[in-house]
Amino acid sequence: MTRWHRALVAATLAACRAEPAYDLVVTGGTVVDGTGGARRAADVAVRGDRIVALGPGLSTRNARRVLDATGMVVAPGFWDNHAHLVTLGEHPQAENFIRQGITTILAPQHSQDQPFPLDAYRDSVRMAPNVGLFAGHTWMRKRVMGLANRAPSAAELAWMQALVDSSMRQGALGLATGLEYVPAVYATLDEIVALSEVAARYGGIYVTHMRDEGAGVMASLRETLDVGRRAGIPVQVNHLKVTGAAQWGWSERMLALLDSARTSGLEVAFDVYPYTAYSTYSDLMFPAWALADGADAFRRRVADPATRARLRREMLALFPRQTGPGPETIQFREVASDSSLAGRTLADYLEARGRPTTVEAAVDALIELQRAGGFIGIFHGMDERDVVRFLRHPGAMIETDGDLVTPGRGHPHPRSYGSFPRVLGRYVRDSGVISLETAVQRMTAQPAQWLGIRDRGTLAVGQRADVVVFDATTIRDRSTYIDPHHFPEGVRHVVINGVPVLESGALTPARPGVFLTRGRAR
């Protein structure tokens, strides 16, 4: 056959085949559409990356692909309002997020390096989930000022403003800070306002890991609201929580403050993860001055007896404000100097060395571990009643605060595997803290509206086809603090931009994710 003949045969065959009506139909499920409205029986049909029909009894005769959702809930794909994606290049499938039903991940790299320029980064990565990026304050301050403990000069501030400006031009959703960490901790309110003003010009938002989530949490909330007022920017508190046994119960006054700010006209939102332990660097247990200018400066300080005595004194006072009552509430995730410690607690560490498990001994051990490079820990320092109160509040969006993980490697916080199934299992089905419809809304339409992204977040004709199918009767998290490497149960199918990334519980190789760009108009 000549090339011309082959083309003729192909064209004839194509004409004989009926054109498929839909690329994908999700059939037989109960739709919870993200608006908060009541669930209803409906099929969802997709062509390309859009939902083109939604209703009962859609025909599947000409569908290219059918996903069975009988007995299951069909919802818009979940939005993780805050996760760490530094290693996205190595984990483009983002399996531990996809298996929770997450289709969109917002990544304020508030304590890590931000990819820059964003344009080049976007071109270099193809990933399964949709991703939203922010201009990262920590990254730009390090780049411009190193770890200096001082205010920026006028020239340094202008340079940082230029970095925000350039990130916003390249599609960042806003400015992100991690004010609890070195070097962001050295920034004053004026610096944050000056940078937020640049993000506000582009319709961006301000998201923050606040300066203090323990004893100073009320002051931190006020500071966050001040950024909103002074820079004229909507503000979002990442992982709203109150840590430290001394502060348990403060959720009530925190929510009252946020509510009054909202009543006064400020745009305020927050996100929360459903666990009573948080995970962060050992830096948290030290006063900020002790860590200024890096590891060598720290070693020099603790070698000086007077400075070390002052440090111990301050750390003793800091301990119950930052974590639970004793060294058993600090669990190691990754220890720079000894990987075998992962999963053990600081109390285990002291016992193994024949030392008392007192807070005094714990402080000395923290100093010695910090000298050897520090650690990432899991701090069991929150109260369940505070977590529930936050989850119940209408302003709460859901997040993992998780990382991209390799199954079996290291000792991650279980939130990386289980946050969304845990909300739907433990807090919706088992304890009825919020309804299924409300929980889905918090996970979908609420963040989409907050960011002004109009074509995602609900199941409706014309929306991008980000869909999750899960069994509301079985969905649950399976990772624990002791045994953290388990995918959750109950998530059956996940579709992103019309393409299945999880089909009947099996991960597909597809990477249909896109980078979100700003949707808010100013």
Residues that bind Zn ion (CB under 5 A): 209
Give the three-class secondary structure for 471.
Answer: coil
Nearer to Zn ion, 209 or 478 (CB): 209
Q: Rounded to whole angstroms, how far apart are CA atoms 404 and 411? A: 12
CB count in 10 Å sphere of residue 168: 23
Edge-first strand order for the sheet with 330-335 is 278-281, 375-379, 330-335
In the complex, what is the shortest distance from the CB of residue 101 to Zn ion, in angstroms, rounded to a whole number? 22
CB of 142 to Zn ion, least distance (A): 17
Between CA 156 and CA 162 the distance in angstroms is 10
* Residue 388 one-letter amino acid: V
Closest CB 182 distance from Zn ion, rounded Å: 14
| Cα–Cα distance for residue pair 160/68, rounded to 1 Å | 51
- Unique residue bearing structure tokens 């993200």: 34
State the minimum distance, in angstroms, from the CB of residue 213 to Zn ion. Answer: 9
CA distances from 504 to 28, 468, 470 (A): 14, 11, 10
**E strand residue ranges, 362-444:** 375-379, 396-398
- Closer of 209 and 321 to Zn ion (Cβ): 209
CB closer to Zn ion, 209 vs 456: 209
CB of 26 to Zn ion, least distance (A): 34
- Closer residue to Zn ion in complex, CB, 170/208: 208
**Rounded Cα distance, 77 and 67, in Å:** 15
Please state the closest distance from residue 172 (CB atom) to Zn ion, in A: 18
Residue 357: name the closest of 329, 333, 322 by CA.
329
Residue 266 CB, shortest distance to Zn ion, in Å, is 22
Looking at the Cβ atoms of 30 and 280, the one nearer to Zn ion is 280
Please identify the residue of the shown chain whose CB is closest to the bound Zn ion: 209
Cβ-based nearer residue to Zn ion, 67 or 102:
102
| Phi (first) and psi of residue 135, to 5 degrees | -80, 125
Q: Which is nearer to Zn ion, 209 or 211 (CB)?
A: 209
Which tokens hold the place of 284? 């948290």
C-alpha 346/C-alpha 352 separation (Å) is 10
Minimum Å gap between C-beta 137 and Zn ion is 12
Choice between 209 and 380, CB closer to Zn ion: 209
Cis-peptide into 117, omega within 30 deg: yes
Helix (H, G, I), strand (E, B) or coil at 382: coil
Q: Give dist(CA 32, CA 436) in Å, integer.
A: 8
**Minimum distance of Zn ion from residue 110's CB (angstroms):** 6
Q: Which is nearer to Zn ion, 141 or 209 (CB)?
A: 209
Amino acid at residue number 480: T
Task: Return d(Cα 416, Cα 88) in angstroms, integer.
Answer: 14
> What's the min distance (Å) between Cβ of 239 and Zn ion?
5
State the residue for tokens 């200096």.
148
Which residue type is seen at 271?
A: D
Nearer to Zn ion, 88 or 362 (CB): 88
Q: How far is the CB of 336 from Zn ion (least distance, A)?
A: 20
The Cα–Cα gap between 180 and 426 comes to 30
Residue 344 in tokens: 């053990």
Nearer to Zn ion, 130 or 177 (CB): 177
Place of tokens 């974590």: 323
N residues, the chain: 522
Contact indicator for 382, 243 with CB cutoff of 8 Å: yes
